[in-house]
Amino acid sequence: MIEISGLGKSFGSLEVLRDVDLQVERGEVVCVIGPSGSGKSTLLRCVNLLEEPTAGKVVVDGTELTDPDTDLDGARRHVGMVFQQFNLFSHLHVLDNLTIAQRKVLGRDKKTAEKIARENLERVGLAEKADAMPAQLSGGQQQRVAIARALSMNPKVMLFDEPTSALDPELVGDVLGVMRQLADEGMTMLVVTHEMQFAREVADRVLFMDGGGIIEQGPPAEVIGNPKEERTRTFLARVL
């Protein structure tokens, strides 16, 4: 579903990603862990070309996004992204948050968009919040709305960048629960997270990144449970 090869990204003279190769299979859940500044967010943002790579290739479901001839807006529709900050439209009701891109980007009519929006609110356990304003919701509920909004675009892949890092601890579980359910439904997911328990239980594969590269990867029981690399051990000792 995702094929990244030789990916490099520099900001001026700062090399943030170097020669990253990564393949994510359809239905696979890959969790990315690593210290702050190691390039995790940049890697995620390169998957839908929110950042333009300085080297390498990014292919999503057979479409090369790094090909200058590719219709990027078209290709990006297939990639849902959820950020640490929920980025809801604060002046719009929840339902409108979920329908606006469906209508403007996918050209769905109002009725269809609202039906799909309500189905996805149901999916994240917030069917009764359709008419609320974002500010009336808890952080955890806002993040679940953000997930429902991404799902309403019928993505083939979901990218999550520390989706629970801005939440009060008691709200983290509901969001992780929704993500776990998505994983069970077979969604292809690339998840940057510090939630090691989630990574252990839900990930098919864990990547440890440091210094702009993938240092170690494998099943969670190996990478988190029994890491080979010293740098992975040092990182885990700090976060576990």
CA proximity to 56, closest of 1, 4, 3: 4
Stretch that binds ligand ADP, among 32-40, 68-76, 108-116, 151-159 (CB under 6 A): 32-40
Stretch that binds ligand ADP, among 33-41, 67-75, 147-155, 199-207 (CB under 6 A): 33-41
| Residue 41 is a binding residue for Mg ion (CB under 5 A) | yes
Stretch that binds Mg ion, among 37-45, 105-113, 116-124, 193-201 (CB under 5 A): 37-45
CB of 215 to ligand ADP, least distance (A): 13
Contact pick of 31, 41, 86, 216 for ligand ADP (by CB under 6 A): 41
Stretch that binds ligand ADP, among 37-45, 124-132, 196-204, 215-223 (CB under 6 A): 37-45
| Residue 42 is a binding residue for Mg ion (CB under 5 A) | no
Whether the CA torsion 175, 180, 181, 183 is positive or negative: it is positive
Q: Which residues, at least 6 apart from 170, have a Cβ–Cβ distance to it below 8 Å?
A: none
Q: Which residues, at least 6 apart from 227, have a Cβ–Cβ distance to it below 8 Å?
A: 208, 216, 233, 236
Chain centroid to Cα 238, Å, comes to 24
Residue pointed to by tokens 């490099």: 8
Contact pick of 7, 28, 29, 40 for ligand ADP (by CB under 6 A): 40
**Closer to ligand ADP by Cβ: residue 153 or 207:** 207
CB of 17 to ligand ADP, least distance (A): 8
Task: Summarize the chain as % helix, strand, coil (round to 5).
Answer: 40, 25, 35
| Residue 89 is a binding residue for ligand ADP (CB under 6 A) | no
CA proximity to 227, closest of 212, 22, 210: 210
**Closer to ligand ADP by Cβ: residue 97 or 164:** 164
Contact pick of 7, 28, 31, 39 for ligand ADP (by CB under 6 A): 39
CB of 124 to ligand ADP, least distance (A): 25
Q: Check: CB of residue 37 under 8 Å from CB of residue 14.
A: no
- Alpha carbon distance 158, 172 (integer Å): 18
CA proximity to 118, closest of 135, 141, 96: 96
* Site residues, ligand ADP (CB under 6 A): 11, 14, 16, 34, 36-42
